[in-house]
């Protein structure tokens, strides 16, 4: 019987990473099962990605919904245990650092099913980030560690991981971005949001920016100061939305708060931006490829390669307006470095690693 690969996705960042891997394995004739845990469950956070990225419809949607980290992870683990028992996959593939990722790796390891982690080895070294816990646990339990950058490989080596388990494959999220470039329509984005001249894009959802009332107040004041310089389009994640709005986010006329966008519309908006303000991991990577200055509102990043080989820089709420003014004055770079193997072929490299592993078993 042919081996079966089961992919676990659950949240918006997973889908652009999974699409190239699913496609490359399909081209090699591998039997696959696609599970969507439903961690992100509304159309703009999940369903639109299956349509736009030509991902096959999920074979299973577990519909776990939202909740605290413990509640959500427990529901995912309970549901996945039933799935793995029934389907008995030969390999489970997990993506990124969301709760679905760590839940799947925990269940698979206890059921003695090998796991491959796409985006292994990323480290912020900040244990206050739930995602950092998810990364550490997933990497410790995974059989195959598929790294996007040389620094990730180094982190895994420093943690004593067997080098035979580590594979530098590049970044499948960039495969998706490069494959969609022709669809990223800046003029459409400008027209949709009545943008004339330089503009910025912002995304915010991390606890350090949207949970504490004082942090939220400072965040809103900082964004208003940036909006004095250029209009900002802010597709607002459900997480923290009420607190930001209660703190006066909507009071500035140049701050355009909109619902979360689909992949193509959002990336078209980013492509034309003078700069992006974000606390997201994936946006740091996408702006690195597009050459858009990225101002990351965090004290650290698990993607330092976007700083050394891209257009990213870390900022604080206090210095964001000043840095934004400098970026506007400097303009977009004409050339910029790009990390190694971020070339649109990561999906194929990952598929080769997975197929080789399955053949040896």
Catalytic positions are 205
β-sheet bridge partners, residue 36: 9, 61
Residue 272 contacts residue 246 (beta carbons within 8 Å): no
State the Cα–Cα distance between residues 121 and 155, nearest whole angstrom.
Answer: 6
Positive or negative: CA dihedral 176, 182, 187, 188: negative
Structure tokens at 156: 């895994």
Residue of 73, 279, 25 lying closest to 172 (CA atoms): 25
State the Cα–Cα distance between residues 130 and 108, nearest whole angstrom.
Answer: 20
Residue 138 contacts residue 94 (beta carbons within 8 Å): yes
- Beta-carbon contacts of 146 under 8 Å, excluding residues fewer than 6 positions away, are 116, 117, 118, 119, 120, 167, 169, 350, 353
């Amino acid at each position: 019987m042919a081996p079966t690969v089961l992919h676990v996705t659950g949240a918006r960042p997973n889908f652009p990473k999974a699409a190239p891997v699913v496609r490359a394995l399909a081209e090699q004739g591998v039997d696959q099962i696609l599970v969507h845990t439903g961690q992100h469950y509304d159309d703009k956070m999940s369903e639109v990605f299956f349509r736009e990225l030509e991902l096959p419809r999920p074979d299973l949607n577990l519909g776990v919904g939202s909740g605290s980290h413990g509640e959500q992870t427990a529901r995912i683990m309970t549901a996945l245990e039933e799935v793995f028992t029934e389907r008995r996959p030969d390999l489970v593939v997990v993506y990124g650092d969301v709760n679905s990722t760590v839940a799947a790796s925990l269940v698979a390891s206890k059921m003695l099913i090998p796991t491959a982690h796409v985006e292994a080895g990323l480290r912020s070294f900040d244990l206050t980030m739930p995602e950092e816990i998810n990364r550490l646990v997933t990497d410790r339990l995974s059989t195959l560690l598929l790294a996007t950058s040389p620094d990730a490989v180094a982190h895994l080596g420093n943690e004593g991981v067997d080098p035979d388990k580590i594979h530098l494959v590049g970044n499948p999220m960039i495969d998706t971005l490069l494959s969609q470039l022709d669809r990223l329509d800046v003029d459409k984005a400008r027209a949709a949001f009545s943008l004339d001249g330089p503009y910025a894009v912002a995304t915010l959802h991390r606890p350090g920016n949207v949970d504490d009332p004082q942090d939220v107040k400072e965040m809103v004041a900082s964004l208003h100061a940036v909006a004095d310089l250029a209009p900002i389009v802010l597709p607002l994640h459900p997480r923290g939305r009420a607190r930001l709005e209660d703190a006066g986010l909507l009071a500035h006329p140049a701050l355009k708060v909109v619902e979360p966008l689909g992949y193509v519309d959002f990336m078209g908006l980013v492509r034309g931006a003078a700069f992006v303000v974000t606390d997201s991991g994936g946006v740091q990577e996408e702006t690195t490829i597009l050459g858009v200055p990225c101002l990351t509102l965090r004290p650290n990043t698990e993607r330092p390669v976007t700083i050394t080989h891209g257009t990213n820089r870390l900022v604080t709420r206090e210095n964001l307006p000043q840095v934004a003014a400098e970026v506007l004055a400097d303009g977009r770079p004409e050339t910029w470095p790009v990390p190694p193997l971020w070339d649109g072929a990561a999906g194929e490299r990952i598929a080769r690693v997975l197929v080789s592993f399955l053949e040896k078993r």
